[in-house]
Structure formats: C-alpha cells, structure tokens
Structure 1
Amino acid sequence: MMNTVRKSENLLPFPVISAAANGDTTAMCAILKHYEGYIAKLCTRTLKDDAGNTYTII
C-alpha cells in the first residue's frame, strides 16, 4: 500500500499560496522556486537517434 501521508515541511504555507493567487509577485516566485525541480523534470525528454546516440532535450 502506498503511503499517502505527506510531510508538512514539503508543503507550501497557505498564506504564500493565497498571496500568489492575489497577485503578489514575491509569493509567485516562491512557488516557482518550490516546484522548479518538478517543472524541469516534466520539461525534459531523453531521445535516441537512429545511430543509438542519446540526447536530453527540453
């Protein structure tokens, strides 16, 4: 069974999320910084060409 309990240190505080929703650019930057690794992972792909060479692309 998968553990669905999340540790509170990995969560963004509600006031930061609320401030970002209201247009606070500092809060938006904090959210982007928090998720930057996840965003980078979603944006990259590893491909192989016909010769068998591997490329990582965005």
Structure 2
Amino acid sequence: MSNKKRNNHLLSYPVIVLASGGDVDAINTVLKHYEGYIAALSMRTFYDEGGNPYLCVDDVLRRRLETKLITKILTFNAA
C-alpha cells in the first residue's frame, strides 16, 4: 500500500491544531473522523419485550465518548 493511500485515513495536522485551539468546525471534523469507531465502541446488547437480544448503539455511551474526545482535544498540545 502506498504512503499516499495510507494518509487518507489520517487527520491532517492543520485540523488537529485548529481543533486543539477550539475551532468548532475542526472539532466536528475530528468527531466525524472517529464516528464509526465511537459507534462500534458504543454497541450494546439490548432485549425486546419478548426477550430477544439485538445490538444497538447506546446513545448515552456514545455521547459520553464524544464528550471525552472533545475534552482531550481541547487539552491536547499540538505545538
């Protein structure tokens, strides 16, 4: 795999710097970048009225993970 293809999956340094400085659009870009990973981490088994299990994203957990990521972004020293 070429280096160029691999870098398509990385956040750019300017976005990281802007996000750590509190730029809302850059923070949203970071959240969008990690949204699939956060959703995967937030999957939980729930049960319907009949006791049948099903997988679903736990929205409370997803929001907690997003909040934790935002907190870490804002305290990150990108310099």
Asked which structure has the greater RCO (Cα within 8 Å, sep 6+), the reply is 2
Unpaired runs of 5+ residues, structure 1, are none
User: Quick one: percent identity of the two aligned structures?
Assistant: 46
Bigger-Rg structure (1/2) = 1
Alignment RMSD, CA only?
2.5
- Counterpart-to-counterpart distance in 2, 1:47 and 1:29: 29
Greater than 6 Å deviation, 4+ residue runs: none
Q: Normalization by structure 1: what TM-score?
A: 0.73
Q: Number of aligned pairs?
A: 53
Pair 1:9-2:8 in alignment = yes
Q: Normalization by structure 2: what TM-score?
A: 0.56
- Counterpart-to-counterpart distance in 1, 2:52 and 2:7: 42
**Structure number having the greater helix percentage:** 2
- Counterpart-to-counterpart distance in 1, 2:33 and 2:39: 12
